[in-house]
Amino acid sequence: MPAIDTYNFSGKKAIIRVDFNVPLNDKFEITDDTRIVAALPTIKKVLADGGAVILMSHLGRPKGEAQDKFSLKHVVAHLSTKLGVDVKMAPDCVGAEVKAMADDLKMGEVMLLENLRFHNEETDGDEAFSKELADLADVYVNDAFGTAHRAHASTTIIAQYFEDKMAGFLLDKEIKFLGGAVANPVKPFVAIVGGAKVSGKLEVLKSLIEKVDTILIGGGMAYTFLKAQGHSIGGSLVEDDLIETAKQILVDAEAKGVNFMLPVDNLAADKFADDADIQVVGVEIPEGRMALDVGPKTVEAYSAEIAKAKTVVWNGPMGCFEMPNFSKGTFGVCEAVAASDAISIIGGGDSVAAVNQSGLADKMSHISTGGGASLEYLEGKVLPGVKAVTE
């Protein structure tokens, strides 16, 4: 497989799978262009070499039906400004009109296909649909890590129709950082795992126990573990059906010599609201109260572990950080990661939102663009979208 940095796109049309699934407000303005900005280096490389670019993406969940609110036309003006090129908007992603536009595309020009998910064939991984997309270009580039865990037409199936196919700069960076953390982490290796539920992080916890030195647990999932240890958790979030699983994870961690740390103090609120009455309590949460963040002693203990780390992977917040009074745990951990000398990898979703809010994003080694994809990659799973352009 060619590598994008050494490949010459001169005279070639490259079809690039990007992730332009960006948030829009009710006026269809982009409220966060992180994903667009992340794709620019790959697009600019093709143009600088003297190639032409055909971009394809999904936006939202239109479920096989063309809907104006999910149209990628809302992205064109912003993308054109960022690239300094007038991006041509296709009326669809397949069909005679689109094929004619692609055929007429001159070197140095950029064309954006309409939302792939206006067709169910995209998510079904349909071969004929994939072939129709492939027929638009000479080279295939996947730069959409956020969808690399799905075997969709544009992320995986399409690759079989190309001699020249490769990962874009963004996908390549994800593979290097996440793959490196999985395959060959610099020790000590600390994983910070938070979020609401154990169920969503079960497989990644099992996988990390095989690799890390320390796991720091926060968020709602902590209280399933504390209950498994016999502590009272009041009205805190709990998955009672996973108590036995939590006990087994604690046993496995101990057997592997992993330092599995749970909160030693918590912010216990009388209601789920920012103006709640808050008490700082230890590991026993009083009846009639729910823990909504880890306490100051926990932040101190976790920060001390992070300071020793050489590799840190973080997925999931420490508490309900969207409410200012319950954000200190998440932001405290964020500050510790930013101040450490570790290779720091922030794995998708709420952790990325928290890091961006903290203003410390530029202090992190790598912020993953994929939520589910980064979790599955950390679990050691082979992602079909990565496999299609790397093997």
Tens-digit pLDDT profile for residues 374-390: 778 877 788 889 899 88
- Residue numbers in the known binding site for (2R)-3-phosphoglycerate are 35, 117, 150
207 or 54, higher pLDDT? 54
- Whether the predicted pLDDT of 301 surpasses 70: yes
Q: pLDDT grade, residue 349 (50/70/90)?
A: low
Catalytic residue flag (residue 27): no
Q: What is the mean pLDDT of residues 68-81?
A: 96
Please say if 372 is a catalytic residue.
yes
Q: What pLDDT is stored for residue 159 in this prediction? A: 97
pLDDT at 371 over 80: no
* Average pLDDT of the residues in 295-306: 98
**3-class DSSP state for residue 90?**
coil
Per-residue pLDDT, 383: 85
Contacts of residue 235, defined as CB under 8 A and 6 or more positions apart, other chains included, come to 285, 287, 288, 289, 290
State the catalytic residue, choosing from 13, 17, 35, 211: 35
Residue 348 has pLDDT above 70, yes or no: no
| Amino acid 197: pLDDT | 87
Architecture of domain 177-378: 3-Layer(aba) Sandwich (3.40)
pLDDT at 374: 78
CB-based contact 48:5 (threshold 8 Å): no
Closest CA to 17 of 139, 174, 164, 107: 139
Map residue 104 onto helix, strand or coil. Answer: helix
Q: State mean pLDDT over 308-331.
A: 95
Listed in sequence order, the residues at least 6 apart from 292 whose beta carbon sits closer than 8 Å to its beta carbon are 267, 268, 269, 272, 276, 319, 320, 323, 326
Q: Which of 180, 200, 371, 372 is catalytic?
A: 372
Give the closest residue to 283 by CA, choosing from 329, 227, 238, 244: 227
The yes-or-no answer on residue 349 being catalytic is yes
Single-letter code of the amino acid located at 372: G
Q: Give dist(CA 73, CA 71) in Å, integer.
A: 5
Please name which of 232, 243, 239 lies closest in space to residue 287, comparing C-alpha atoms: 232
Q: For residue 73, what pLDDT is reported?
A: 97
pTM, full prediction? 0.82
Pick the catalytic residue: 82, 88, 197, 206? Answer: 197
Tens digits of residue pLDDT in 173-231: 888 888 877 778 899 999 999 988 888 888 889 989 999 999 999 999 999 999 999 99
150 pLDDT tier (thresholds 50, 70, 90): confident
Share of the chain above pLDDT 90, in %: 79
The answer to whether 386 and 155 have CB atoms below 8 angstroms apart is no
* Mean pLDDT computed over every residue of the chain: 94
Task: Indicate the burial class of 27 (C-beta count within 10 angstroms; 0-12, 13-18, 19 or more).
Answer: exposed
CA distance 72 to 168: 21
**Mean pLDDT value across residues 331-359:** 90
Catalytic residue (one of 219, 349, 370, 385): 349
* For range 103-125, the mean pLDDT: 97
> Mean per-residue pLDDT for 273-296?
97
**Contact yes or no for 370/146 (Cβ under 8 A):** yes
* Binding site as annotated, residues: 19-21, 35, 58-61, 117, 150, 201, 322, 348-351
The CA-atom distances, in angstroms, between 255 and each of 249, 324, 381 are 10, 38, 24
CA 109 to chain centre: 30
CA 169 to chain centre: 16
* Tens digit of each residue's pLDDT (9 = 90 or more) over 3-13: 999 999 999 99
- Two structure tokens written together for 239: 């998955």
Read off the tokens for 238: 């709990």
Average pLDDT for 75-90: 97
**What pLDDT, on the 0 to 100 scale, is given for residue 188?**
96
In the predicted model, what is the mean pLDDT of residues 86-102? 98
Instruction: For 224-282, write each residue's pLDDT tens digit.
Output: 999 999 999 999 999 999 999 999 999 999 999 999 999 999 999 999 999 999 999 99
CA atoms within 13 A on the CB side of 247: 10
Binding site for substrate: which residues?
19-21, 35, 58-61, 117, 150
Task: Give the distance between the most distant pair of CA atoms in the chain.
Answer: 70
Task: Output the pLDDT for position 218.
Answer: 96
Residue 192 three-state SS: strand
Report how far residue 389's alpha carbon sits from residue 133's, in angstroms, rounded to the nearest whole number. 16
Lowest mean pLDDT among 160-169, 263-272, 308-317, 381-390: 381-390
| Comma-separated ranges of CATH 3.40.50.1260 domains in the chain | 13-169, 177-378
Catalytic annotation on 194? no
The hierarchical CATH code for the domain 13-169 is 3.40.50.1260
- Distance between CA atoms of 332 and 1, rounded to whole angstroms? 43
For the CA atoms of 140, 374, 181, 298, the dihedral, rounded to the nearest 10 degrees, stands at: 160
